[in-house]
């Protein structure tokens, strides 16, 4: 009896050790992923040389959560509060005034324009080194308003396993996100194993200047590039210069990235994270103000994209 | 006697096999390079973790030759000749008319503006895939006007060895060039071992579009970014997001890249290629219209940058 129990434990560990995706239920999605990887890494007509194994992942809603707001928006609001003493005029000026009163809804009533104004006011006017420190300090201390977790604890365990699995198969993985490139770079290597040079994102303009004898990259309050929707293939082309063979996203903002990736020659894979788990994470798609998923959901079947249902495909959601 | 000769040959091969830079004379420059690499890869206070071993190399005049003109300019002129039948107006329109008459001097009299106009006319208005094919076809067939060699045969053998040596020591190497990013990417992997995602350069704008049901990146006749002078640190920051620890250049256009790289904390290395070999390559510096080298030469000693004299430091220049 004792021996049989030990044997069972041993066998279970063995099977788990063999399974590169232990947090994924053994569904059609998991099988499709592992079949694809087996196909392109096996000698034969579908073999893809390691140098061309480029995978691109959206970040918000794909690698970490994005509700009730993009986490970078929480960063912006916290920065506004921190910087308020230097900006007495914000007390009277929208959208800053509402943020300072804690009324996020009114602050965001101005839509993208308001968000952009707040992003510029908080992301520019300092050196890249200074900004990196601000982000690093915030990301290691700020907590999510409803879960009370660090934001980096709200990354998806199954996706971490997928990144590791692809890397083990010689994929080079890039983040391609609508989020700020410099907001992600300070922590993506530690959290996802993705180094800064493999992060593509939205950016503001910068200039090089020697200030008091010290060379610096100065962040300017001008938009440089928006890495969303049709901007994603452009960002991919600009940064990577190769067409990926694997793309993962979760919203209509990823449509063009999925389309560009999966319409190339040879074997291709498109993966969509569908947030179907109100209990363990969040449930939203067509009508969400964040991460709206409609067109991608409609076209996925005919385009052969895999849809991950969080609820059904994932054994666990967040790392323990 | 015979045995001693064999032993000598064996010893020489052995020493050469041990030497990662066999085309470099054993001068102070070579010793400085190998000392630096030994220092940052050896356990101790100067050890740099592999992930931070970022090296940046200029291309024109640093990895391959650039006289009597940047090689991309020859590409532009060849393209103008090829495209001329589709542009009858070019026969009367400068600078195109002069190019078609073979009068490059007059064509270039309009300076940067003229060159830019010709670049736009030949580099835009097609998809990225089409442009890649045009470059690939040209680079494998076009010959340098005075040496008769393929342009890719005019890369510097000692620099190829340096790239291999740095890679063997876990450096990640990026090209950071004023040249067009899409003009370099189709061949840098084959020639230098540097993949497209590690090429930073000047660029025109692009847009993503589905044309006749086929997704494409369309090249637009608008400048996007000039990766030269103070643009180089900006390009580095944008693409890599880390400050390099090793930079190599050959002209004043590389000054800011060298400055940004070598003024960071910890061990840093700046390398300058000085074209001093009129016999085997070209000799030029302060007064050259291409690759002007004055400020960098003046400041190198006080900034601790190494100067390679092609004539004295290199045993061979081009690959055999």
Nearest CA in chain B to A197: B240
**Minimal Cα distance from B242: which residue of A?**
A196
- What does the DSSP 8-state code read for residue B155? B
Confidence of residue B9 (pLDDT cuts 50, 70, 90): low
B128-133 contact pairs (CB < 8 A, 24+):
B128/A237, B128/B182, B128/B206, B128/B216, B128/B217, B128/B218, B128/B219, B129/B216, B129/B217, B131/B182, B131/B219, B132/B182, B132/B185, B132/B186
Task: Identify the burial level of A290 via C-beta atoms within 10 angstroms of its C-beta, where 0-12 means exposed, 13-18 middle and 19 or more buried.
Answer: middle
Check if B277 contacts A (Cβ < 8 Å): no
- Whether B12 shows a pLDDT value over 60: the answer reads no
Residue B112 pLDDT: 82
Q: How confident is the model at residue B140 (pLDDT cuts 50, 70, 90)?
A: very high
pLDDT number for residue A285 = 98
Which residue, B266, B256, B262, is CA-closest to B235?
B256
Whether the pLDDT of residue A57 is over 70: the answer is: yes
Phi and psi, residue B221, nearest 5°: -80, 50
The whole model's pTM is what? 0.94
Q: Which of B118, B81, B87, B121 shows the shortest CA–CA distance to B100? A: B81
Q: Which residues of A touch B130 (CB under 8 A)?
A: none
Q: Does B136 touch chain A (CB under 8 A)?
A: no
Residue B4, pLDDT > 70, answer: no
Residue pair A303/A270 in contact (Cβ under 8 Å)? The answer is yes
Residue B77: pLDDT band with limits 50, 70, 90: very high
* DSSP states along B82-118: HHGGG-GGGGTSTTHHHHHHT-HHHHGGGHHHHHHHH
Residue B320's pLDDT is 87
* Residue A104, token pair as written in the block: 């996020």
pLDDT tens string A109-149: 988 889 889 999 999 999 999 999 999 999 999 999 999 99
Model pLDDT for residues B303-314, shown as the tens digit of each residue: 999 999 999 999
- Report the pLDDT averaged over residues A22-36: 97
Give the model confidence (pLDDT) of B185-222 as tens digits.
Answer: 999 999 999 999 999 999 999 999 999 999 999 999 99
Q: What is the pLDDT of residue A12?
A: 56
Give the pLDDT confidence score for residue A3 in this predicted structure: 61
Q: 């044309």: which residue's tokens?
A: B211
Question: B17: pLDDT confidence band, cut at 50, 70 and 90?
Answer: low
Confidence of residue B275 (pLDDT cuts 50, 70, 90): very high
Per the DSSP assignment, residues forming a β-bridge with B200 are B176
Residue B196 is nearest to which of A128, A233, A242, comparing CB atoms?
A242
C-beta atoms of B215 and A233 within 8 A: yes
- For residue A10, the model assigns a pLDDT of 58
Question: What token pair was written down for A152?
Answer: 């980096």
Q: What is the mean pLDDT of residues A45-72?
A: 97
pLDDT band, residue B8 (cuts 50/70/90): low
Listed residue (B224, B305, B240, B238) closest to A208, CA to CA: B238
- Chain B contact present for A151, CB below 8 A: no
- Our CA-based measurement puts residue B260 at a distance from the nearest CA of chain A, in whole angstroms, of 6
Average pLDDT, chain A: 95
Give the model's pLDDT for residue A11: 55
% of chain B surpassing 70 pLDDT: 95
Q: Cβ–Cβ contacts within 10 Å for residue A222, how many? A: 11
């Amino acid at each position: 009896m004792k021996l049989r129990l030990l044997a069972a434990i041993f066998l279970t560990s063995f099977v788990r050790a063999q399974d590169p995706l232990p947090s994924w239920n053994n569904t059609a999605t998991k099988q499709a992923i592992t079949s694809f990887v087996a196909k392109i890494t096996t000698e034969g007509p579908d073999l893809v040389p390691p140098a061309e194994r480029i995978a691109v992942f959206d970040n918000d809603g794909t690698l970490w959560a994005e509700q009730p707001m993009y986490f970078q928006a929480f960063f912006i609001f916290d920065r506004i509060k921190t910087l308020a003493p230097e900006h007495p005029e914000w007390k009277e000026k929208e959208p800053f005034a509402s943020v300072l009163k804690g009324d996020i809804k009114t602050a965001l009533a101005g839509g993208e324009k308001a968000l952009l104004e707040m992003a510029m006011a908080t992301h520019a006017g300092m050196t890249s080194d200074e900004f990196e420190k601000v982000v690093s300090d915030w990301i290691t201390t700020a907590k999510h308003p409803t879960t009370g977790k660090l934001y980096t604890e709200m990354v998806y365990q199954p996706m971490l396993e997928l990144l590791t699995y692809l890397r083990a198969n010689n994929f080079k993985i890039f983040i391609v996100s609508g989020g700020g490139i410099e907001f992600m770079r300070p922590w993506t290597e530690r959290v996802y194993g993705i180094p800064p040079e493999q992060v593509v994102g939205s950016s503001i303009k910068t200039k090089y200047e020697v200030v008091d004898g010290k060379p610096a990259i100065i962040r300017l309050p001008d938009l440089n590039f928006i890495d969303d929707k049709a901007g994603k293939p452009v960002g991919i082309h600009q940064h990577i210069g190769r067409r990926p063979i694997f793309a993962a996203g979760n919203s209509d903002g990823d449509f063009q990235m999925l389309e560009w990736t999966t319409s190339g020659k040879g074997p291709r894979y498109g993966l969509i994270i569908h947030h179907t788990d109100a209990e363990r994470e969040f449930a939203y798609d067509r009508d969400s103000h964040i991460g709206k998923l409609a067109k991608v959901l409609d076209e996925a079947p005919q385009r052969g994209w895999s849809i991950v249902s969080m609820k059904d495909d994932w054994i666990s959601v967040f790392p323990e």
